[in-house]
Each structure stands twice: as C-alpha cells, then as structure tokens.
Chain A
Amino acid sequence: GAVVSQHPSWVICKSGTSVKIECRSLDFQATTMFWYRQFPKQSLMLMATSNEGSKATYEQGVEKDKFLINHASLTLSTLTVTSAHPEDSSFYICSARKLAGGADTQYFGPGTRLTVL
C-alpha cells in the first residue's frame, strides 16, 4: 500500500498566528514530498517540493519565508504557514513520491482545510 496522512484535517486560527501542518507517509519512505494548495473548484497548485535533508524548492510566486517547509525524516514533512492572513485560507494537500516497480507515482494525503479569521 501507499498511505499518506495529514494532520490536522482542519484548523481555524486567528490572523497573525502560525499554523503547522504535518504530512506523513505511513507505510513507505519518501525522499520527496510535495505541498499543494487548492482553491474551491480549482486544480491543485504546486507550492513547493520538499526534499529530505535539504532545503525545499519553491515554485515561482510562493514566499519561502511565509510557507516554511521542513523534511526532517523520510516519513515526515511539515508546512508552517507563518503570520497567517485570511487570504491564506485554503485547502492544503501534501503528496509523497514513491518509486516502485519501475513506476513513479505520487500518493496524496487527505488534505488540511485552513481557515484564517
């Protein structure tokens, strides 16, 4: 199997606070994880690529100081939204890359809905 979990599944916070979201690959090791955000009725927007033991690679237009990514182990990546504002409210989804049997696939977590008041 290839199970990816996210915690929390939803969070409501006040403007100006920071929120940490965890992404874990439960039954496989992932040297590469990805963070996406999804607005209502839209596709996924890749925010950054998280590499175990090294710095994340951010997509153009994504503020690295605002969205802190840490990939400290082969099964855990965290995304911290710092000084969150209402425009950061979104559905954040992580995925973990798995290479097996010659196939290169990504398995997704269930998502975290962030609401900033």
Chain B
Amino acid sequence: GEDVEQSLFLSVREGDSSVINCTYTDSSSTYLYWYKQEPGAGLQLLTYIFSNMDMKQDQRLTVLLNKKDKHLSLRIADTQTGDSAIYFCAGNRDDKIIFGKGTRLHILP
C-alpha cells in the first residue's frame, strides 16, 4: 500500500467541524505535517506535530496522533468557505517529506 493514505474527498457544511484522517506506514517519522493547497498555489504549512505528542491545538486546528495505530487527523473547527482546499498529510523520512494524495475539502453552504 501507499506510505501515506488519506481519503480523497470530504464535504462539510459551513460552520460544522471538518475532520480529515490519514494513516501512515513509516513509524520512524519524527514529524507529521498537514499542508493546505489552494487552487493554482503552492503548499502552505498549516501545522505539524512531533511524533512523541498526542495532540496539538492551534486556534481552529486540532491535530491528533495515534502512534500505535499510525493514524493522524486534522480537525478544523467552525469550517469556513476559505477552508475549501486540498489538505495533504505528510511524514518525514530521512531528509524527505512523503505526502499523501490529498483530501479535497468541499464546503456546503
């Protein structure tokens, strides 16, 4: 299977919470990341979590890491239309970052 897997599409109503899930295979990753990509743009680093942490919160963003299950999630509270984008889960391996295929978040009015 892929090194980093995530569902390809998520649809959420404006104002609700969005939860984007990711699983990874390489337990040696010391950092796990969430990047956001808007149409026609590069990637914006949203947040990252060190592998010995379980949770990290930054304003509307909450990252949960279950290292035993190799599961990472990103929760976006009070989802807004500006959150519509592709979200990439990633982990580091050696000096590289390994990306998932991205989850396209669609906001319903």
A residues contacting B by CB (< 8 A) are 2, 4, 6, 32, 34, 42-44, 46, 49, 93, 95, 97, 102-111, 113
Contact = CB atoms under 8 A, between A and B. Distances in A.
27 contacts: A4-B42, A34-B96, A34-B97, A43-B88, A43-B100, A43-B102, A44-B43, A46-B96, A46-B97, A49-B96, A93-B43, A95-B43, A103-B48, A103-B50, A104-B92, A105-B45, A106-B97, A108-B42, A108-B43, A108-B44, A108-B45, A109-B42, A110-B41, A110-B42, A111-B41, A111-B42, A113-B40
Given A103-B48, A105-B48, A93 B101 contact: no
Contacts of B101: 42-43
B30 interface: yes
Given A43-B99, A43-B101, A104-B31, 11 more contacts: A32-B95, A43-B102, A44-B43, A49-B95, A95-B43, A103-B48, A104-B92, A105-B31, A108-B45, A110-B42, A111-B42
A109 B43 CA distance: 7
Contact of A93 (B42, B48, B102): B42
If over half of B's interface residues share one DSSP class (helix, strand or loop), that class is named, otherwise mixed; here it is strand
Contact of B95 (A2, A44, A97, A113): A97
B24 interface: no
A105 B102 contact: no
A4 B45 CA distance: 12
